[in-house]
């Protein structure tokens, strides 16, 4: 692979995505083989949005690869406010070997990747969640054995998770359906890219307002919370709008008998999914959550393994000037 950053699934080829998934499976199966692969290297984790899985998986993951992590909270950085993205990037590149950013605006991660001389990983933006998608497809591969022509039905809000699910499915030749209420579809540019790419790989990306149509004969039923971080003021209205898009036993029965249920978590049982679905034998949500660790270890290993350690110094140190 010859990609410096992990900002979007769209930046990769199908073979590169498949390589990372295979590496993730190998790391999961043989963790001891990779103990010192990032020995002494440091990942800084910038969190503008809180998280359980992102925080733990990156923190534990880098340590299991022999490296170190450093957590920076919103109050310590405040990207673009207290300090510009450019200045943060130019400071950090001289001290660490990788930067993970979990923030709101996708442009922040793009700018960080543009300015920083070390790898930048997108831990989540309002536009995409590529690390989650890698864990998702790793889980589908483990449970279904094949990703091509797999029918994946995402039911709910056309958000960042839906975007990355579409992008990855399009790259790998899967059949991705996204069912949302009218007005809550994925962004038009995300749909256009996924449909264009899918036409090249033999996959498909279909958008509908009919949840049952999406779920019919699906191998995977996937949902997410109806109200994402930053949308709390819309929670009441969204509950009313999304009520008929709940993944319950009736909707799940439209899928194949051996279908699996997926959710990126955290889940609101009784809202976007019922207890009898998320806690059923069909549910793989905790396997999916665990795979965040293995997928992200593969990403960190591939991006950070060749990054040199130590401060960036001028070619020749100036002589000291004595008074």
Active-site annotation, residues = 102, 129, 132, 224, 264, 292
By three-state DSSP, how is residue 173 classified?
Answer: coil
Separation of alpha carbons 247 and 257, rounded Å: 15
For residue 243, the 8-state DSSP code is G
Round to whole Å and give the CA distance between 174 and 197.
11
φ, ψ of residue 100 in degrees (nearest 5)? -110, 130
Cα-Cα end-to-end distance for the chain: 52
310 SS3 class:
coil
Rounded to 5 degrees, φ, ψ at 104 are: -95, -70
Query: What whole-number distance in Å separates Cα of residue 263 and Cα of residue 241?
Result: 20
State how far the alpha carbon of 187 is from the alpha carbons of 16, 152, 233, in Å. Answer: 25, 19, 21
Whether the upstream peptide bond of residue 17 has omega within 30° of 0, thus cis, is no
């Amino acid at each position: 692979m010859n990609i410096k950053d992990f900002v979007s699934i769209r930046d990769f080829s199908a073979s590169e995505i498949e390589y990372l998934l295979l590496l993730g499976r190998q790391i999961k199966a043989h963790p001891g083989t990779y103990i010192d692969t990032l020995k002494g290297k440091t990942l800084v984790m910038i969190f503008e949005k809180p998280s359980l899985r992102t925080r733990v998986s990156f923190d534990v993951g880098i340590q299991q690869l022999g490296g170190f992590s450093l957590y920076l909270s919103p109050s310590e950085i405040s990207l673009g406010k207290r300090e510009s993205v450019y200045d943060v990037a130019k400071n950090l590149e001289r001290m660490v070997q990788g930067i993970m950013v979990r923030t709101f605006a996708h442009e922040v991660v793009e700018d960080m990747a543009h300015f920083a001389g070390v790898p930048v990983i997108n831990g989540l933006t309002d536009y995409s969640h590529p690390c989650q998608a890698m864990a998702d497809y790793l889980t589908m591969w483990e449970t279904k054995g094949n990703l091509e022509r797999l029918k994946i039905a995402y039911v709910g809000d056309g958000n960042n998770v839906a975007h990355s699910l579409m992008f990855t499915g399009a790259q790998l030749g899967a059949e991705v359906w996204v069912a949302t209420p009218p007005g809550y579809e994925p962004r038009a540019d995300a749909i256009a890219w996924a449909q264009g790419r899918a036409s090249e790989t033999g996959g498909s990306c279909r958008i509908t307002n009919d949840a049952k149509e999406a779920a019919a004969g699906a191998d995977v039923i996937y949902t997410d919370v109806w109200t994402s971080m930053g949308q709390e003021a819309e929670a009441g209205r969204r509950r009313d709008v999304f009520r008929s898009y709940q993944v319950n036993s009736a909707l799940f029965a439209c899928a194949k008998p051996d279908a699996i249920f997926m959710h990126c978590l955290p889940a609101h049982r009784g809202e976007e999914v019922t207890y009898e679905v998320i806690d059923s034998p069909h549910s793989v949500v905790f396997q999916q959550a665990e795979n965040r660790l293995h997928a992200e270890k593969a990403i960190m290993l591939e991006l950070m393994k060749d990054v040199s350690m130590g401060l960036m110094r001028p070619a020749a140190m100036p002589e000291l000037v004595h008074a």
